[in-house]
Amino acid sequence: MAGKSGRTLSITQESSWKKAVFSWEGILILLFIAVNILCICISPNYNLKNVLREMPKYLTEVFLLLPMAYLLLLGEIDISVGASVCLSATMACMACNAGLPFPLVLLVGLAVGTLCGAVNGFILTRFTELPPMIVTLGTQIVFRGIAEITLGSGGSISLTNTKQFHAMAGKIGPVPYMFFVVILAAAIYMVVLGKTTFGRRVYAIGSNSLASYYAGIHVQKIRFFVFTLAGFMAGVSAIFLTSVLYGANTTTGNGFEMDAIAMAVFGGISTAGGKGKLLGAIISAFTIICLRIGLGQINMNPQVILVILGALLVLAVLLPNLAKKARSMGIMAKAA
């Protein structure tokens, strides 16, 4: 567990306040606070009520972030989840319009998503030499293609009965149900990753998959499970997105996978696997959501917002490298 996974070991070491503040998660919390102060300063309408009201649309992406973090920790990636959302939403809408009872509609959405994930998992565990980026790029096109064929020439489907989905988008006070579901899901994912053998195995495989295999971990079983999990969460995301959009079309879920990857990387999860914490990814997700809402409220040009988010992301991956370089230069200076 040395080397790449050094970070996991450090959790068990003494925890002083300095450590908490100076960890990547600590920095992210500061950044989160800074972003909120910034938004309050620039927008007179940036308050808890409005932020919670604007949040559901963005929260649908957080569902994808959770399994994406697991995948990145494994050293894998899945860029088909956005298309899985599209296909699941399409099928759920069709099931709803066909008059199926509501629980069954939800089940259809979840099942389609899970099936999409299982297809990815099956291909990637059966043919382990294939790169996940390319395979999921292929399945992305296939899933979206199936959705487009199903949607037909109109390219969109809308619910004929919106009642139950409308109820799903309801709120307790100012807090949408979806917010609670996201928090609950995030908590479960964090506990599983941090406190169970399964979580430790994920880190182990991400650090060194071959060593993990020789250590007796069922590497392929875990990979299959996590890919399927990503599909399942795409189904969850699709159901909640349907409650916001009352339907689906060929552009549903476009770019969700990239947003999820960006949030995870910004949260300190390495795309090489084995490094990073889910907590960071979740804080970074809310930081990005708050920044988007705040900048949106001052009617900033969306392209400028995208540039800012992109620059932040590049900086986030650059920072640790820059710091490392600065330190090694410091050591060299001392030696000389």
The residues of the shown chain that bind other proteins, judged by CB under 8 A, are: 18, 21-24, 27, 30-31, 34-35, 38, 41-46, 50, 53-54, 57-58, 151, 153-156, 158-159, 162, 166, 169, 241, 243-247, 249-255, 292-293, 295-306, 308, 312, 315, 319-320, 322-324, 326-327, 330
Comparing CB distances to other proteins, the nearer of 141 and 187 is: 141
Task: Give the H/E segment covering residue 303.
Answer: helix 302-335
- CB contact at 8 A, 242 and 159: yes
Q: First-to-last CA distance in the chain?
A: 34
Minimum Å distance from CB 176 to other proteins? 11
Comparing CB distances to other proteins, the nearer of 134 and 298 is: 298
Minimum Å distance from CB 268 to other proteins? 11
| 157 strand-pairing partners | 248
Minimum Å distance from CB 15 to other proteins? 14
Comparing CB distances to other proteins, the nearer of 55 and 135 is: 55
Comparing CB distances to other proteins, the nearer of 111 and 168 is: 168
Phi-psi region of 270 (alpha: psi -120 to 50; beta: other; left: phi over 0): beta
Comparing CB distances to other proteins, the nearer of 188 and 323 is: 323
DSSP string, 174-224: TEEHHHHHHHHHHHHHHHHHHHSHHHHHHHHHHH-HHHHHHTT--HHHHHH
Nearest to 274 by CA among 210, 184, 214, 216: 210
Nearest to 263 by CA among 326, 182, 171: 182
Comparing CB distances to other proteins, the nearer of 136 and 252 is: 252
What is the rounded CA–CA span in Å between residue 109 and residue 83? 13
Comparing CB distances to other proteins, the nearer of 118 and 305 is: 305
Nearest to 5 by CA among 190, 272, 187, 247: 272
Minimum Å distance from CB 95 to other proteins? 17
Minimum Å distance from CB 141 to other proteins? 16
Minimum Å distance from CB 215 to other proteins? 31
Minimum Å distance from CB 26 to other proteins? 8
